[in-house]
A and B are shown apart, each in its own frame.
Chain A
Amino acid sequence: MTDTMEPTPSISACPACIATPSAIERAQAAAAEKGARIMLSVPDAHCAVCIQTVESDLEKMPGIKSARLNLTLRRVSVDAEAGITAQMVADRLKQLGYPAFELDPGTLSMTETDKQGRDLLMRLGVAGFSMMNIMLLSVAVWSGATDATRDLFHLISAVIAIPTVAFSGQPFFRKAWAGVKARRLDMDFPISLAIVLATAISLYETFNSGRHAYFDAAVMLTFFLLAGRYLDFRTRAVARSAAQELAALEVPRAIRIHGGEEETVPVAQLKVGDLVLVRPGGRIPVDGVVVAGQSELDRSLLTGETLPVFTGPDAVVTAGAVNLTGPLTVQVTAAGKDSSLHRMADLVAVAENARNKYTTLAERAARLYSPSVHLMAFGAFVVWMWITGGDARHAINIAAATLIITCPCALGLAVPAVVTAASGKLFRAGLLIKDGSALERLAEVDTVVFDKTGTLTMGTPEPVNLGDLPRDELEIAAALGAASSHPLARALAEAARAQGIIPARLEDVAEVPGHGVQASWQGQRVRLGRANWVGADALDVTAAYLAVGPRAPRAVAFADRLREGADEAVAAFKAQGKRVLLISGDVPGAVGELAGRLGIDDWQAEALPQDKAAAIEALQAQGHKVLMVGDGLNDTVALTAAHVSISPASALDAARVASDIVLLGQSLAPIPQAQGVAVRAVRRIRENFTVSFGYNIIAVPIALVGLASPLIAALAMSASSITVALNSLRLK
């Protein structure tokens, strides 16, 4: 249990590794079993009634001491006695109509984030209050205080400003110092230089009864830039904690058969040679060989196939597949780092290297900004030294005024403000931006690639040709289907029930794991199951086969149900003039059918993970910017290779980690909207740069000729900051 205090490892380092969470996460999950505090994500909570319903209902549950819903983070925190598991709370919430996900119980990382946020907020608060007080004194000086009064006011300003700058400016100083040590010039260096120089020169002027002191400007600069820093932090923190939450969704445990007894152990403790029991409905935790049992495996998350695959003794199974019909005993051949999931990690690493680092608009602007500001200030110093014949005090004053007046507020405040506004808007629409630059990349997209199974479709089949069956066979099929837990059988039974079909009366109903269900009906043997077991010819679409006595077997074909909003999303992207592609690992029949239904002309079937990534790389080599939407492990490489990627919250961890944006709701409809928001956000960012550039064009010459008074500096700085902040808020 000592592992529980370790920080959660970086989630972006190796997306595919996440599919088998590290030992630390497993240990944390085990610790959570002991109870106390349970955290759940409740993405659908949005109103006062939700608070009322969730809190009062959970508190009625035995064993729960208190529950509190945080509406900002859409998260409920439950104080529970031992024995209450997150799953129980999640089930209760689901009954109430709020789907909930279990969150990372290691709250350590979360409190760490909170602490950082509060720290920044405190520095921001101190800067704000000091700014107001100094401004009060500065206004008196500007409106005509002279001599001893002015010096006194400057002195009091200094007493307030110096501790404030020393405390509130620390985030900039620290980063600037780190930048200097690493021999690179980033935004924090000119910021720190401006703050320190303004404070130092004002202090000098104060003691020499000078006319101008820039204490207000130094503190104001700190305040505005800290506001930007805080917004930036908030966006990142929300995204990061949510991403961590999603990563903790799957709690990996396995049933080990040890000395004839079943015991539940963390997957990390499994060793090669162990016997593991996988019940129907369970996910296979390791790579291994089946030693006993027959069943069918759903490998859709691994390969994109919708059709379950038969498995029996001596068959090789891979971690991640879902066992459907019969219990399987699997002997472990590779666990943890050696398993096939980790082979995917290599592919992802290759794709990540290939993805050239994206430089955001702010970074590009900062690269231009830092050197030009320093050159300008230094130039002003040199020229004024020459003009005044060596009056260093005057020259430094002008250089400092130039540094202050070119305040990088548009860079430091405008971009975070736009990104915060845009990600807030998208969060309410059910999209979680994991990476700030994702918004800019999303705005550039001109090609959209969809995965099929689990992305455009729900991964749940529906029978399509029930009408072809005679009534009596339909009744038999309904009865047989109801006897099995196989997804196709269940879907068949459900569809029959929906049509009002009364199941036939059957005898000796028996499920043959891995094959199907059989029974006797009026003395005849009836079977529903795989083609070869029933005695039919297999079709190339997903189908179940029905044989009634000596009659010719019939095929019931299935199509995957479309995900909500899939057709809208495809139509909207096409209306925007974007190219839409469908690349799937499934068979051509199923893929072509879906492509036809959605009106996608470009489709590719039976694509291996590498093929998907290669297709995307080929498109990008032609100069297209590709948005990839996918959910499976087989999509991970493609998601990493694409310019920007989105995965639904139901996707496998690895896919969610590899993508830049996570879709929290069920519907795909918000994706084209998100693209629109991204385009508008980038437009706002550009506008903000233009606005602040405009201010500088007016203010910099004034500073350079030596006419900038502290009043003008304060006006220019606050006017430009407030303009860009207001412009950013227009996005709402």
Chain B
Amino acid sequence: MDILAVLIPVSLALGLGGLVGFWWTLRRGQYDDPEGDSQRILRGDYDEHPKA
């Protein structure tokens, strides 16, 4: 059962990591245009770096 002392913090850290990631994507406006983004992914004209 000692393994729990490792596993529980790990699972909590993973969950927290996911939450921070979600918070970051939300702040960057990645949910503002889901339909457009699904079409943009197929375009080849800004491969170097995405347009702002």
Contacts and interface: CB of A to CB of B under 8 A. Distances in A.
Q: Do A and B bind each other?
A: yes
B19 A51 contact: no
Interface stretch (A70-78, A97-105, A516-524): A70-78
Interface string B2-35: 0010001001100110110011001100011111
A136 B12 CA distance: 10
Given A51-B43, A70-B32, A72-B34, 4 more contacts: A48-B39, A66-B52, A71-B35, A118-B26
A72 B1 contact: no
Contacts, number: 57
A122 B35 contact: no
Interface string A127-167: 00110110010000000000001000000100010000000
Contacts of B1: 149
Contacts of B8: 156
Nearest to A121: B26
Contacts of B34: 72
A48 B15 contact: no
Contacts of A160: 12
A12 interface: no
A129 B36 contact: no
A51 B52 CA distance: 14
A118 B18 CA distance: 17
Interface residues of B, number: 26
A69 interface: yes
Contacts of A118: 26-27
B15 A51 contact: no
A51 B40 contact: yes
A121 B23 CA distance: 9
20 contacts: A48-B40, A48-B42, A51-B36, A51-B40, A52-B45, A68-B51, A69-B36, A72-B34, A72-B35, A118-B26, A121-B26, A125-B19, A125-B23, A125-B26, A129-B15, A129-B16, A129-B18, A133-B12, A133-B15, A149-B4
B26 A72 contact: no
A51 B39 CA distance: 8
A64 interface: no
Contacts of A51: 36, 39-40, 43
A103 to B, nearest CB: 16
A698 interface: no
A70 B39 CA distance: 11
A47 interface: yes
B23 A71 contact: no
B46 to A, nearest CB: 10
Interface of B: 1, 4, 8, 11-12, 15-16, 18-19, 22-23, 26-27, 31-36, 39-40, 42-43, 45, 51-52
Contacts of B33: 70-73
Contacts of A66: 51-52
Interface string A46-74: 01100110001000000000101111110
A52 B42 CA distance: 11
B16 to A, nearest CB: 8
B22 A129 contact: yes
A489 B37 CA distance: 48
A126 interface: yes
B31 to A, nearest CB: 7
A542 B34 CA distance: 50
Contacts of A121: 26, 31
B14 to A, nearest CB: 9
A56 B51 CA distance: 12
B21 to A, nearest CB: 10
Nearest to B52: A66
Contacts of A156: 8, 12
A114 B15 CA distance: 26
Interface string A103-125: 00000000000100010011001
A141 to B, nearest CB: 13
A114 B23 CA distance: 15
A130 B18 CA distance: 10
A56 B46 CA distance: 12
Contacts of A52: 43, 45
A132 B12 CA distance: 10
Contacts of A136: 11
A120 to B, nearest CB: 11
B2 to A, nearest CB: 12
A627 to B, nearest CB: 30
Closest 3 CB pairs between A and B? A71-B36, A48-B39, A133-B15
